[in-house]
Amino acid sequence: MRKSFLFTLILILVFPFSLYADEIKIGSCIYRFNDAFMLRFRNAMSAECEKIGAEIEIADSQNDQNTQNEQVDGFISNGVNVLIINPVNRMEAQPIIDQAKAANIPVVFINREPAPEMLASYERAYYVGAKAEESGTQSGELLAEYFKTHPEADKNHDGKLQFILLKGENGHQDMILRSKYSVEAIKNAGIEPVEIASAIANWDKLQAMNIMNGFVMSIGPENIEAVLANNDEMALGAVETLKNSDYNKGNSEMYIPVVGVDANASALDAMDKGEMLGTVLNDADNQGMAAVRLAVALASGKDINSIGYEITDGKYIWIPYQKVTRGEKN
Ligand code: GAL
Ligand code: CA
């Protein structure tokens, strides 16, 4: 009797989810598979499902909201117990919420935050992500710290920081808030930021490379004191272009500090080589794990406050960002 009780207790402690997760089917849509950060996110969700024995099907929405809505329809008619959705357009999340509500299944949004009133329209709608302003602040701080400790970075000796801003997809909370708060953080560090150019490169390395190429040609690399990119892929695009102009090849002479967000492996690699200054960890592992655990708890009627992640305002799980420089976490 006591023995079996102990055994059950150990099972509960060691496998808190395996006791009920195996019956749960999750339907998930990712805005597009061809996105370096979302690949990490997908892998994290699959790994957690494997661990707890839940079933997950992940669909590629190919950057098309209609495609995604049809995929959601399909999941619902196939009888999934819960949805994890990375909306193509976060402002068009309402129809998905309505679909989920009509089928009375919970929906967890990830990475692209629906408006609060949308989430409020269905008691079983949630969001798992990271606070965009936090990543903006941290990337701005990284750059400000560098500028303060490297007087040579002020190439035109005017005490101000002439920077280029590479922005993510229009309307994305991470594009809006990272752009705003990174610049704000530079100001708060007592440095006057001067935006010499900015453009939208849609999180994409190739687009950023081309845009940066135009800027380098028209402005001259010697007049650029920093590049702030809303994510690592765009930062790496900028680095690639700078390398073509013999900058950022790992020797400190010809160098423009470039900062990104995500801490993807390729960015950490570039940082190790001295080609890129820093990034901010966008914690895909924890976001993916939290999304799956929340989804499974909701679908099985378990207490969502016992999944190991704090629920804020009844609807949100926020995973913190972390500054990263040269392979080390600050
Ligand atoms: C951001 C991430 C970008 C991109 C985007 C997709 O959080 O930093 O690299 O993946 O999400 O929505
Ligand atoms: Ca300057």
Question: Which of 32, 38, 202 has the most ligand 1 atoms within 8 A of CB, as the residue to mutate?
Answer: 38
Question: Which of 204, 207, 262, 324 has the most ligand 1 atoms within 8 A of CB, as the residue to mutate?
Answer: 262
Residue with tokens 């994409």: 204
DSSP 8-class letter at 311: -
169 near 175, Cβ under 8 Å? yes
Question: How do the pLDDT tens digits run along the chain, 330 residues long?
Answer: 555 666 655 555 555 544 467 789 999 999 999 999 999 999 999 999 999 999 999 999 999 999 999 999 999 999 999 999 999 999 999 999 999 999 999 999 999 999 999 999 999 999 999 999 999 999 999 999 999 999 999 999 999 999 999 999 999 999 999 999 999 999 999 999 999 999 999 999 999 999 999 999 999 999 999 999 999 999 999 999 999 999 999 977 899 999 999 999 999 999 999 999 999 999 999 999 999 999 999 999 999 999 999 999 999 999 999 999 984 444
Q: Which ligand is nearest to the CA of 225?
A: 2
Element of type H or E holding 130: none
Q: How far apart are CA 213 and CA 166, in angstroms?
A: 12
**Ligand 2 center to 95 CA (angstroms):** 48
* Nearest residue (CA) to ligand 1, atom 10: 37
In a 3-state reduction of DSSP, which class is residue 318?
strand
Q: How far apart are CA 231 and CA 166, in angstroms?
A: 8
Total residue count of the chain as it appears in this document: 330
Spell out which residues line ligand 1, taking CB within 6 angstroms.
35, 37-38, 111-112, 172, 174, 203, 231, 261-262, 282
